Amino acid sequence: MSHDSIETDICVIGAGSGGLSVASGAVQMGARVVLIEAGEMGGDCLNYGCVPSKALIGAARRAQQVRQGGPGVAGQEPRIDFGAVKDHVSEVISTIAPHDSQERFETLGCTVIRAHARFTGPRELQAGATRVRARRFVIATGSSPMVPPIDGIEGSGYLTNETIFELRDAPGHLLIIGGGPIGLEMAQAHRRLGCEVTVIEGQKALAKDDPALSKVVLEQLRAEGVTILEESPALKIERDGDRVTVVTEAGRHGGTHLLVAAGRRINIGDLGLEAAGVDHDKAVHVGADLRSVSNRHVYAVGDAAGGMQFTHVAGYHAGIVIRSAVLGLPAKAKAAHLPWVTYTDPELAHVGLTEAQAREEHGGNIETHVVPMDGNDRAVATGQTAGLLKLVVLRGRPIGASIVGAHAGELIGMWAMAIVNRQKMSAIAGTVLPYPTLSELNKRGASAYFSPRLFDNSRVKTIVGLIQKYLP
């Protein structure tokens, strides 16, 4: 749809998770909405991130199940068709894509412009041949792979998450710079699909997670044959024909392909924010209401607002903006209840404060409780006993939870709900869960909190003794 000039209520820049959620909610509530996207509808998550990576991880997990076998079932080396795996990844994207498509949003009533947007003033921008003037703008431009300035990297033929899924042939030896969630997810998936893999991390791998839990993940990856080098910054990269070499202080590490997974940069550099009077550095400067601190007509969501860089955070931000910009109601974004998951096997999930963060904030008032996965009957029955739950509790309320183990990303939901609703540990302890399920791990966590209060308490024993003595 082509226009020379448009006046609208809300103009959303970026058709990723956050932008699509704002546009969908606003237009269905009756607001006039213009949605601008210069790249692929669905953004990074659909095309280069969450969706393709989880499809690849799923295929790799099936390969590993064949390799491992099980009780009474002999394992064998799987026959892997790497091109067919990539066809599966493409099919998954294609299946989900219609939900994020231009056609769907135009059917909802949005005006969709496929062009680059650039502000020309505090309340207007130019997108291709169209000038858009709006009451409110929402910057939802997401982020892109950050490529560190390593000597020789520009001529190395490196891959990022935006290009690695295009490979049709399996890498012989994949080198990965970056030991965060993306790097380790891709490392395990490619190793299980038959590739040699070396991860090179300048600091500690999975540094944002609790060390006791990240250790379980790293040990598993190493057991599967992934080489993980920590505290080994890449100093130089060399390309010689079909070979690429990463040079560190510890030595030279050669492979056939190089994946850079060393962080993200936020896509706000060419939006003309100065013309709009929008303060920013790496991200837009926003308040708790996600409004620009310098231009009240502009909001930012997801990566563009700074903070956690997750698809579900962008979706959460969208709800805050809809409440404020569409309904005119007060709304503020918080972060204490936002979970994240690393989709390795075992999975690593977290919500709230880590033990270290909690001790820094609350001192000696916190308690920690650890429950191993091997005490869960369902885990024992299915052979998924590697892992544990670690709880951080303050005055009877959970303020942090970390889980490493099978389906940790699903199990963390109970603690996310408890934290956002300020529930007490008694709410978890009082929940009746089906047996046998992995979710009983969470109830065992609550039991670990109450057990010393009930069973190792002399006062309780005295009271119970009196009750038993006089109870008719």
At residue 459, does pLDDT exceed 70?
yes
The percentage of residues in the chain with a pLDDT greater than 90, rounded to a whole number, is: 93
Give binding residues for FAD as ranges: 54, 141-143, 303
pLDDT of residue 176 exceeding 80? yes
Name the token pair of 104: 């769907």
From 208, 213, 143, select the one nearest 180 (Cα to Cα). 208
Q: What is the pLDDT of residue 3?
A: 57
Model pTM above 0.85: yes
d(C-alpha 148, C-alpha 158), whole Å? 11
Cα–Cα distance, 19 to 25 (Å, whole number): 10
Q: What is the mean pLDDT of residues 451-461?
A: 78
Q: Binding site membership for NAD(+): which residues?
A: 178-185, 201, 263
Structure-block tokens of residue 423? 């529930």
- Segment 432-451, tens digit of pLDDT: 999 999 999 999 999 999 98
> Are residues 146 and 263 in contact, defined by beta-carbon separation less than 8 angstroms?
yes
Q: Is the pLDDT of residue 456 over 80?
A: no
Ordered by where they begin, the domains of the chain are 5-144+265-326 (3.50.50.60), 153-262 (3.50.50.60), 346-455 (3.30.390.30)
pLDDT for 470 equals: 84
Hunting for tokens 């064998």 — which residue is that? 76
What is the tens place of the pLDDT at every residue in 290-308? 999 999 999 999 999 999 9
pLDDT of residue 304: 98
Split at pLDDT 50, 70, 90, the class of 2 is: very low
* Confidence (pLDDT) at 1: 43
Q: What is the structure's pLDDT at 472?
A: 80
**How many angstroms separate the CA atoms of 381 and 374, rounded?**
10
* SS3 per-residue string spanning the chain: CCCCEEEEEEEEECCCHHHHHHHHHHHHCCCCEEEECCCCCCHHHHHCCHHHHHHHHHHHHHHHHHHHCECCECCCCCCCCHHHHHHHHHHHHHHHHHHHCHHHHHHHCCEEECCCEEEEECCEEEECCEEEEEEEEEECCCEEECCCCCECHHHCCCECCCCHHHCCCCCCEEEEECCCHHHHHHHHHHHHCCCEEEEECCCCCCCCCCHHHHHHHHHHHHHCCCEEECCCCCCEEEEECCEEEEEECCEEEEECEEEECCCEEECCCCCCHHHHCCCECCCECECCCCEECCCCCEEECHHHHCCCCCHHHHHHHHHHHHHHHHCCCCCCCCCCCCCEEECCCCEEEEEECCHHHHHHHHHHHEEEEEEEHHHCHHHHHHCCCCCEEEEEEECCEEEEEEEEECCHHHHHHHHHHHHHCCCCHHHHHCCCCCCCCCCHHHHHHHHHHHHHHHHCCHHHHHHHHHHHHHCC
Classify residue 312 as exposed, middle or buried by CB count within 10 Å of its CB (0-12, 13-18, 19+).
Answer: middle
Task: Give backbone dihedrals phi and psi of 331, rounded to 5 degrees, phi first.
Answer: -160, 140
Q: Which residues are annotated as a binding site?
A: 54, 141-143, 178-185, 201, 263, 303
Q: How confident is the model at residue 215 (pLDDT cuts 50, 70, 90)?
A: very high
